[in-house]
Chain A
Amino acid sequence: MEGKKLCKWFGRVAALKDVDITLERGEVVGLVGDNGAGKSTLIKILSGVYKPDSGELRFEGRKVELDSPRDARKLGIETVYQDLALVETMSIARNFFLGAEPRKRIGPFNLLDTHKMREDTEEMLKDIGITVRTAHQEVSTLSGGERQAIAIGRTMHFGGKLLILDEPTSALSVHETNKVLSYINEARNRGLAVIFITHNLYHVYPVADKIVVLEHGQKVGDFRKEDTSVEELMDIIVHGIEGDRRSLKNTAT
């Protein structure tokens, strides 16, 4: 599998200008940049929320048009938003299958397969090491890290190929952050491509294979981890344009 995205820009007030991003299977890409750098615009395009004004999306070698998040999910692109991952007032099982509910036909009716929902959810919870009394427990009773873990587990369960994580660690304790990072590693080991959006470079650096830096809607850096260092990346994020020139030099060599 290859998730490949070509050039695209966005909007009247250009929120994203000619940004290229390439993702390989089993690769974690860290997407970093300050607030308003265009990170969320980019992921909303990748996940089907916005349509790009120009440029094209390619997925597994084919050109694709994403009209809605539903289209994206059908292709295997799953997005976990910072505070929009789960509905707190619903049970874990209902959340787990939201938008992709298993159905069973009884006569003319298309009913929820609640049995499968419970079993699969409990299996997934065991898989990722979360202990709850039942899959019917409300999500509001879980910690932030557990919620992220469930959202990530959902992607793996549904055979997602590309996992987009929006600030998955921003509201977590150090311990929980490390747990989430280990789930990201697990997702990579299973062959998923992962985009990890954050403004905390120190969170993404340990797990990323590649780091893309955005600023003012433009890509100002695109490095393999082994070619760079935290210091250099920080410098680019902080100093922007000079960083831009340096990254161009860097990619030229």
Chain B
Amino acid sequence: MKREFLNPGTLGDIVTIAAELGVVAVGASFLMISGEMDLSVGSNFALGGMILAMLITKQNWNPILAFIFAISCSAGIGALNGLVTLYARIPSFITTLGAMMFWRGVALYLTQGWPISIFENIPLLGWLGGDRIVSTVHISAIWWLAIGVLFWIILQKTPYGNWVFATGGKRGAARALGVPDVKVKLINFTLIGLLAGLGGCFQLGRMGSMSPVWGQDLALEAIAASVIGGNSLNGGVGSILGTMLGAITMASIRIGLVMIGAPAYWYMSFVGFIVVAAVALNVMLGEVISWSK
């Protein structure tokens, strides 16, 4: 089993699975660092993929235009979450819980609950996730890496990143120093919407089809990946690299369980165990470090 797990084909599968989850997880951790969360990413993911598939198959849109339109819709859904949360002043947990249900319903309505498939050979789908670069590694892994690097730079190396940390770390202090905290949160809500739609398009690209029921656990998986990677649910603390490693950890569990022949049902149990263990370990390490100071 060990040798099989380490062969390039398996690693490729892990990276491919990690990429689709990871794109959304990067957005989730970015938003979480600024002090909010988005539970609607799974519905947004499905909707993004479905809009793209429907525009191509039913409306005969130019695939590139359809792609831009689909991820714009997803970004719009994210922005709407942000506007409602920030202007109605309700917790994003509530706003996005409602949005999760609402947009899932819309996705189901669009195809009356049926999955939608694309049978034609469309280059765009290859570019999004269908093409393999080496062995079993799909091209979406490259996009994920690029997005990860981009968001890492934004967070660590730009003034905007400093505002994201400050907004989530202590909103009042950020505001008192002139950080546009509302704008920061709104932008981050929009970004996670965009990334959720993009994740859906990647999966559509790889599978050639999208079902309105896919991505049901995605929001919690993305939050789990962020938390395993050291992000704080309270905001203000976190890293993109950690989140990406968190996504890889989760993908490894998924593939690893299949490799050892364990029923895939155990996946959720394992992830649950690791989330709790990772956070407990984080707290313990934090205490050890502060004692040694």
Which residues of A line the B interface, CB within 8 A? Answer: 47, 49, 68-70, 73, 79, 81, 83-90, 94, 97-101, 103, 109-112, 114, 141
Q: Are A111 and B157 in contact (CB under 8 A)?
A: yes
Q: Are A98 and B170 in contact (CB under 8 A)?
A: no
Q: Which residue of B lies closest to A104 (CB)?
A: B157
B162 at the interface (CB under 8 A from A): yes
B174 at the interface (CB under 8 A from A): yes
Residue of A69, A90, A114 near B236 (CB, 8 A) is: A90
| Apart from A98-B163, A111-B153, A111-B157: 16 A-B pairs, beta carbons within 8 A | A68-B178, A69-B176, A73-B178, A81-B173, A81-B176, A84-B172, A88-B169, A89-B169, A89-B170, A90-B165, A90-B236, A98-B166, A98-B173, A99-B163, A99-B178, A110-B158
B97-154, CB < 8 A from A: 153
Q: Are B159 and A112 in contact (CB under 8 A)?
A: yes
Residues from chain B with a CB closer than 8 A to the CB of A83 are: 172
Q: Interface on chain B toward A: helix, strand, loop, or mixed SS?
A: helix
Q: B143 to nearest A CB, angstroms? A: 20
Residues from chain A with a CB closer than 8 A to the CB of B177 are: 69, 73, 98-100
> In whole angstroms, how far apart are the Cα atoms of A47 and B172 in the complex?
14
Q: Are A110 and B159 in contact (CB under 8 A)?
A: yes
Contact A87/B157 with A69-B177, A73-B178, A98-B177 known, Cβ cut-off 8 Å: no
Q: Are B170 and A88 in contact (CB under 8 A)?
A: yes
> In whole angstroms, how far apart are the Cα atoms of A47 and B175 in the complex?
12
> In whole angstroms, how far apart are the Cα atoms of A98 and B166 in the complex?
8
Q: Are B173 and A94 in contact (CB under 8 A)?
A: no
> In whole angstroms, how far apart are the Cα atoms of A85 and B170 in the complex?
10
Q: Are B236 and A89 in contact (CB under 8 A)?
A: yes
Of the listed residues B159, B173, B177, the one surrounded by the most CB atoms of chain A closer than 10 A to its CB is B177
Contact A69/B178 with A86-B173, A87-B173, A90-B165 known, Cβ cut-off 8 Å: yes
Q: Are B158 and A112 in contact (CB under 8 A)?
A: yes
